[in-house]
Structure 1
Amino acid sequence: MIDLSDSSWFLLAVFIVVVWWLIRTYIPSYASALDFLGLSLVVSLILLNTFIFLHRLENALSLSQFLKFFAAGGLCACITHAAFVPLDVIKTRLQTNPDKYSRIWPTLKHIYKEEGCLMLFQGFSATAIGYFLHGAFKFSFFEVFKALVTGTNKVQTPFVSFLVASVASILAETVASFSLCPMEAVRIRLVSEPSFARGFVDGLPKMWKGEGYRGLYKGLPYVLLKQIPYTYGQFVSYEVCMKLLSGTSISSSASKTVDLRLSVLCGLFSGIVAAVISQPGDTLLSLVNREGSDMPVSIHTFHILVKRHGPHKLFIGLGARMLLVACMLAGQFFIYDSLKALVGASSSLSSPPSTDENIITQISVHH
């Protein structure tokens, strides 16, 4: 009899699907033999885990808690991303036109002198709307998936706890990326082609009319390529930093002020790590949106872009992006903690770091 409170069924399903996909993709000689078996297996596992998830739903977050995290996550992401739009404009120019733009400061002076101050805020509305939805879905669904995967049982080992948190973050980011992709496509087009449209309200219907849903979602694989490592690196590096600082004088007090100081410090560190490991995907996303909707999204396209621009150019704009992401995550953690306290979010998600607790089981402190 299936124990619906045991997360091993879900973890086994994920493992089998990943192994099947790797064999199917990288060993073509076995592809035809695995097609029917793999499809049947995937459908069965999806149905099984859907049933298990529905059974556990009553033990997951309440609707009021979900809405609190949805609002807090959306607001902190919206505020921080919108505040750094000018730096993001510079970063996008460095990525999409490296022959013309090579460094941050000269790019800033050129945009200000030739195109005006308002150009530094190009794509502001698309960024604000897109990242509000992205942050809202990312933070809230991380909590939902973590609760659903864990069920009523407490995670017993650090490895299983780490695995559950990793799976939950990947699934939550996948959901969130579907809301972000159209906004990001419009934003990149507005920044790389200022004459394309007057703004987001004008650009979204124009892009839909000219390229359809394929144009808005053609960069989805690259959004996932950027966002999943970003989210994963953000979680892990933040918790490692929090663990290292938990025994220092900075955390000797349990006051809210000290907690927010730790949030800012660890946010800076996690921003640097997340920016580095997600930079190739971010550059490819900018390039594929610049090329237009006629560029097929595939592994072959990935190789074409790498060959055309060179592996080293995947890290163009990294300096600007490290500065952007580090400052953004520091502010994001600060705002998120403050908003959670304001709306009365569950204390289990905002407890101060402790040297006696396992670092992995604290992964939900800020997400």
Structure 2
Amino acid sequence: MRGTDQGRLCEEFSAGYYGICTLGGMLSSGTTHLVTTPFDVLKVNMQVNPLKYNSISTGFSTLWKEQGPSSLWRGWSGKFCGYGIQGGCKFGLYEYFKRLYSDVLVDRNKTFIFFLSSASAQVFADVALCPFEAVKVRVQTQPHFAKGLSDGFPKVYRTEGLAGFYKGLFPLWGRNLPFSMIMFSTFEHSVDLIYKKIVQKKKEDCTRVQQLGVTCVAGYAAGAIGTVVSNPADNIVASLYNKKAENVWQAVKKIGFFNLFTRSLPIRITIVGPIVTLQWFFYDSIKVLTGLPTSGGLRRCLEEPNLSA
């Protein structure tokens, strides 16, 4: 392994390294999801009541007039806490699994390792997120349900029991697993492509500012592509949590196959593209501040010619 750079707080792939990655994931995911709460409120209302909230501009206007400006920030605590915890698990475990699988599966190509690593991390991340998401969606679409997490958690437990928190776990996996697999793989390959074809320099030969610029471009590409793939499951999650359907199959029939892919897609791209870009930027900025290299690529103790692109 290469020697520790000057100013680096810990060695790569040490317990401290994974701790920094987890903390970076929590801070980057929690803060970026928090600032986009108004768009998320509109998104879930467009999914649950598409006739009333049929566009971004009129949807915001309707929410503002009927429920006041504070309605745009409903569910902010669920966004910040839930997605912060999810982000910590997602980024921290991704780094761990990527190293683990690249060491074990030396005969597999990079894409397979990226897919497997991100899927493994996302399974745990969504188990952590699911209770927060269950409360958040209800708070955002049912004005009198609860004010936030403090009264929302007890109410869900009283009325639906523990199962109420995990009603949407499988649709959540259906939404986030493909999104995460596509997002991480697209990011990794985009980073590699940008350095090879556009920057035409190795990452180590670029300044930190240039490296963070590559991170942002790759992050936006990853978010946009992942959003399109995950949109059907996102619509199903909103429908189940708001009792518009009793199960996944009923939700699909009520929403319609075409609408699964198109309903709320523009606003999701508006939300998710910048979110993912900022997440990767903040995440890699924290790495840079602690003396660690920016994200992208498989790094192991020894060079492996067996890992194909």
- Same fold by TM-score greater than 0.5: yes
**1:237 offset after TM fit, Å?**
1.7
Equivalent residue, structure 2, for 1:184: 133
RMSD of aligned Cα (Å): 2.6
5+ residue gaps, structure 2: 1-11
CA contact (8 A) 1:230 1:277 kept: yes
Q: 1:136 to 1:160 in 2, by over 3 A?
A: same
Q: 1:352 to 1:309 in 2, by over 3 A?
A: closer
DSSP 3-state at the match of 1:246: helix
Equivalent residue, structure 1, for 2:272: 325
Q: Relative to structure 2, which stretch is displaced further, 172-181 or 334-343?
A: 334-343
Quote the Cα distance in structure 2 between the aligned partners of 1:93 and 1:331.
24
**1:156 offset after TM fit, Å?**
4.3
Q: Relative to structure 2, which stretch is displaced further, 302-311 or 219-228?
A: 302-311
**1:160 offset after TM fit, Å?**
3.6
- Pick the aligned partner of 1:100 from 46, 52, 64: 52
**1:243 offset after TM fit, Å?**
3.1
Q: Please state if 1:263 is matched with 2:212.
A: no
- Pick the aligned partner of 2:259 from 306, 313, 325: 313
| Mapping of residues 1-367 of structure 1, within 5 Å | 61-151=13-103, 156-157=106-107, 159-248=108-197, 250=199, 254-291=206-243, 295=246, 301-314=247-260, 315-345=262-292, 347=293, 350=295
Aligned length: 289
Give, as a single letter, the amino acid of the residue that structure 1 aligns with 2:57.
Answer: W
1:251-283 CA-partner distances (Å, limit 9, x unpaired)? 656011111111111211111101000001111
CA contact (8 A) 2:109 2:307 kept: no
Equivalent residue, structure 2, for 1:3: none
DSSP 3-state at the match of 1:99: coil
Give, as a single letter, the amino acid of the residue that structure 2 aligns with 1:198.
Answer: K
DSSP 3-state at the match of 1:169: helix
**1:64 offset after TM fit, Å?**
1.6
CA contact (8 A) 1:169 1:232 kept: yes
DSSP 3-state at the match of 2:72: helix
**1:351 offset after TM fit, Å?**
6.6
Quote the Cα distance in structure 1 between the aligned partners of 2:90 and 2:79.
16
CA contact (8 A) 1:251 1:262 kept: no
Give, as a single letter, the amino acid of the residue that structure 2 aligns with 1:310.
Answer: G
**1:344 offset after TM fit, Å?**
3.5
**1:202 offset after TM fit, Å?**
1.1
DSSP 3-state at the match of 1:187: helix
Give, as a single letter, the amino acid of the residue that structure 2 aligns with 1:318.
Answer: L
5+ residue gaps, structure 1: 1-59, 296-300
Q: Please say which structure displays the higher CA radius of gyration.
A: 1
**1:352 offset after TM fit, Å?**
8.7
CA contact (8 A) 2:138 2:242 kept: yes
| TM-score, reference length from structure 1 | 0.73
Quote the Cα distance in structure 2 between the aligned partners of 1:342 and 1:362.
31
Q: 1:77 to 1:115 in 2, by over 3 A?
A: same
1:11-47 CA-partner distances (Å, limit 9, x unpaired)? xxxxxxxxxxxxxxxxxxxxxxxxxxxxxxxxxxxxx
Equivalent residue, structure 2, for 1:32: none
Equivalent residue, structure 1, for 2:7: none
**1:88 offset after TM fit, Å?**
0.8
Q: 1:121 to 1:250 in 2, by over 3 A?
A: farther
**1:248 offset after TM fit, Å?**
4.8
Q: 1:225 to 1:259 in 2, by over 3 A?
A: same
CA contact (8 A) 2:106 2:307 kept: no
Q: 1:362 to 1:228 in 2, by over 3 A?
A: farther
CA contact (8 A) 2:44 2:137 kept: yes
Q: How much identity, in percent, do the aligned residues show?
A: 29
Quote the Cα distance in structure 2 between the aligned partners of 1:320 and 1:330.
16
Quote the Cα distance in structure 2 between the aligned partners of 1:362 and 1:262.
22
